[in-house]
């Protein structure tokens, strides 16, 4: 099973090497690592040249944001399964991809996901919280619950069916994509009760209350676009679970 891993980056020289090395260390043989650089002005490209021994393709040009970069990667991905690992993110072990591939080879499974550790950007050994996907059910997306996106592995047929990410969103484009994926009652998915990705703080969705407010507004818009009935209050019900994850 060929796995395409798409990494979006812009001026990520300080953290790019960790992601490249994490993918390079995976024991799964058929990996297609696609890098989409938004035209970095720092030394990101130098870091990629020095550490990109497993990079299959590099796109380096200005883009319209993270979801535009995701779509560029999707359009050239040739894997049976597609996953995203952003700049700075790393897998928690060298067999993460191979184990997710095995899960997706079971009984027509189309989607697989797990948990993500949010770690201190200055000290990756310090875990701030565990983003758990355990509570996810498609019907709970009206409360803002979704699989942890960095842990999500989808068969390429899913993207062929539902389309690309909506690049008009700033933060909730992955939520909107998941709405389209999991709104179909027949989709077959599996959850691995394990943290498979380390994600440093500072990402688009974990920058304090302003980003929380923005993402909630965008979630509401995404639900309206997809004819999913919810409310701003319901979408905020995910927040107590996030607080509990701190403990």
Distance of alpha carbon 221 from alpha carbon 209, whole angstroms? 18
pLDDT value for 209: 59
Distance of alpha carbon 86 from alpha carbon 70, whole angstroms? 10
Residues (pLDDT < 70) of the chain are 203-209, 241-242, 244-247
Cβ neighbours around 151 below 10 Å, total: 26
Give the gyration radius of the chain's Cα atoms: 17
pLDDT value for 211: 82
pLDDT value for 124: 87
Positions of E strands within 39-167: 55-60, 81-84, 90-91, 111-119, 127-131, 153-155
Distance of alpha carbon 26 from alpha carbon 5, whole angstroms? 11
Does an H or E element contain 34, and which?
strand 31-37
144-183: pLDDT as tens digits? 999 999 999 999 999 999 999 999 999 999 999 999 999 9
pLDDT value for 223: 97
pLDDT value for 246: 62
pLDDT value for 186: 85
Cβ neighbours around 141 below 10 Å, total: 24
Tokens of residue 73, six digits: 């990667």
In eight-state DSSP terms, residue 43 is: S
Domain boundaries, given as residue ranges, for the chain: 3-244
| Contact criterion met (CB below 8 Å) for 138 and 183 | yes
pLDDT value for 204: 54
CATH superfamily of 3-244: Spore Coat Polysaccharide Biosynthesis Protein SpsA; Chain A (3.90.550.10)
Tokens of residue 91, six digits: 């897998």
Q: What residue spans of the chain are helical by DSSP H?
A: 13-24, 44-51, 66-76, 96-104, 156-162, 173-182, 209-225, 232-235, 239-244
Listed in sequence order, the residues at least 6 apart from 202 whose beta carbon sits closer than 8 Å to its beta carbon are 88, 121
């Amino acid at each position: 099973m060929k796995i395409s891993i798409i990494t979006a980056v812009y001026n990520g020289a300080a953290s790019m090497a960790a992601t490249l090395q994490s993918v390079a260390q995976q024991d799964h043989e058929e990996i297609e690592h696609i890098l989409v650089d938004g035209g970095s002005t720092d030394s990101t490209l130098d870091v990629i040249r020095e550490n990109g021994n497993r990079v299959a393709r590099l796109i380096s040009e200005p883009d319209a944001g993270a979801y535009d970069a995701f779509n560029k990667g999707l359009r050239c991905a040739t894997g049976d399964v597609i996953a995203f690992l952003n700049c700075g993110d790393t897998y928690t072990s060298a067999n993460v991809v191979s184990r997710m591939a095995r899960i997706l080879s079971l009984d027509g499974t189309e989607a697989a996901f797990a948990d993500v550790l949010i770690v201190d950007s200055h000290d990756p050994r310090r875990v701030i919280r565990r983003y758990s996907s355990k509570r996810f059910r498609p019907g709970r997306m009206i409360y803002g619950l979704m699989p942890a996106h960095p842990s999500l592995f989808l068969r390429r047929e899913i993207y062929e069916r539902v389309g690309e990410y909506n690049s008009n969103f700033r933060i909730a484009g992955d939520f909107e994509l998941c709405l389209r994926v999991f709104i179909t009652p027949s989709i077959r998915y599996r959850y691995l009760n394990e943290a498979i990705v380390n994600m440093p703080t500072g990402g688009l969705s974990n920058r304090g209350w302003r980003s929380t407010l923005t993402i909630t507004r965008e979630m509401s818009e995404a639900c309206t676009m997809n004819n999913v009935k919810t409310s701003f209050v319901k979408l905020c019900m995910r927040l107590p679970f996030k607080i509990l994850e701190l403990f």
